[in-house]
Amino acid sequence: MKHVDLHLHLDGAVTVAIARKLAKLQGITLPENDQELERLLTVPEDCESLTDFLKCFALPLSLMQTREGLSEAVRLVVNDLQSQGVIYAEIRFAPQLHLEQGMTQEEAIRAALEGIKKAGECIDHAAEGNMAAQIKVNLILCAMRGDGNESANEETLRLAKKWLVADGGVVAMDLAGAEALFPTGKYRELFAKAKELKIPFTIHAGEADGAESVKLALEFGANRIGHGVRSQEDPQVLQLLKENQIPLEMCPTSNRQTHAVEDMSRYPFMDYLQHGLKVTLNTDDPGIEGTTMEAEYRYMEQRFGLDEDGKRTLLQNAVDAAFTTEEVKNWMRMELGLR
Catalytic residues, by residue number, are 207
Of 9, 21, 67, 329, the one binding ligand ADE (CB under 6 A) is: 9
Q: Which of 92, 94, 202 is nearest to 143 (CA)?
A: 94
CB of 319 to ligand ADE, least distance (A): 23
In which order are the strands placed within the sheet that holds 86-93?
3-9, 86-93, 136-144, 170-176
Could you say which residues in the range 211-250 bind ligand ADE, by CB under 6 A?
Answer: none
Contacts with ligand ADE in 73-132 (CB under 6 A)? none
DSSP run (H or E) holding 248: strand 248-250
Tell me the β-bridge partners of 136: 88
CB-based burial of residue 155 (10 Å sphere; 0-12 exposed, 13-18 middle, 19+ buried)? middle
Contact residues toward Zn ion (CB under 5 A) are: 284
- Give me the least distance between CB of 260 and ligand ADE, in Å please: 8
Q: Which is nearer to Zn ion, 91 or 336 (CB)?
A: 91
Candidate residues 254, 283, 292, 324; the one interacting with ligand ADE per rule CB under 6 A: 254
Residue 12 as a binder of ligand ADE (CB under 6 A): the answer is: yes
Widest pairwise Cα distance in the chain: 53
50 binds, among Zn ion, ligand ADE, none (CB under 5 to 8 A by kind): ligand ADE
d(CA 112, CA 68): 10
Shortest distance (Å) from residue 288 CB to ligand ADE? 8
Question: What's at 173, amino acid-wise?
Answer: M
Nearest one of 60, 62, 65 to 77, comparing CA atoms: 60
Helix 16-26 to helix 34-41 angle, to the nearest 10 degrees?
100
Q: Is 60 in the site for ligand ADE (CB under 6 A)?
A: no
8 Å CB contact between 157 and 188: no
Q: What is the CA radius of gyration of the chain?
A: 19
Q: Which does 200 bind (CB under 5 to 8 A by kind): ligand ADE, Zn ion, none?
A: none
Minimal CB distance residue for ligand ADE: 176
Closest CA to 252 of 223, 272, 235: 272
Per-residue string for binding with ligand ADE, 167-186, x by CB under 6 A?
---------xx---------
Which residue from 67, 98, 204, 278 is in contact with ligand ADE, where contact means CB under 6 A?
A: 204
Cβ neighbours of residue 199 under 8 Å, at least 6 residues apart? 157, 160, 161, 164, 172, 173
Distance CA 316, CA 329 (A): 10
**50 in contact with ligand ADE (CB under 6 A):** yes
- Total residues contacting ligand ADE by CB under 6 A comes to 10
Q: Which of ligand ADE, Zn ion, none has residue 90 at its interface (CB below 5 to 8 Å by kind)? A: none
Least distance CB 142 / Zn ion (angstroms): 9
**Distance in Å, CB of 218 to Zn ion, minimum:** 18
User: What is the enclosing helix (H) or strand (E) of 296?
Assistant: helix 293-304
Instruction: Using the minimum distance from each CB to ligand ADE, give the nearer residue, 108 or 336.
Output: 108
Q: Tell me: does residue 285 bind ligand ADE (CB under 6 A).
A: yes
177 binds, among Zn ion, ligand ADE, none (CB under 5 to 8 A by kind): ligand ADE
289 binds ligand ADE (CB under 6 A): no
CB of 106 to ligand ADE, least distance (A): 22
3-state secondary structure of 140: strand
Site of interaction with ligand ADE (CB under 6 A):
9, 12, 50, 176-177, 204, 207, 254, 284-285
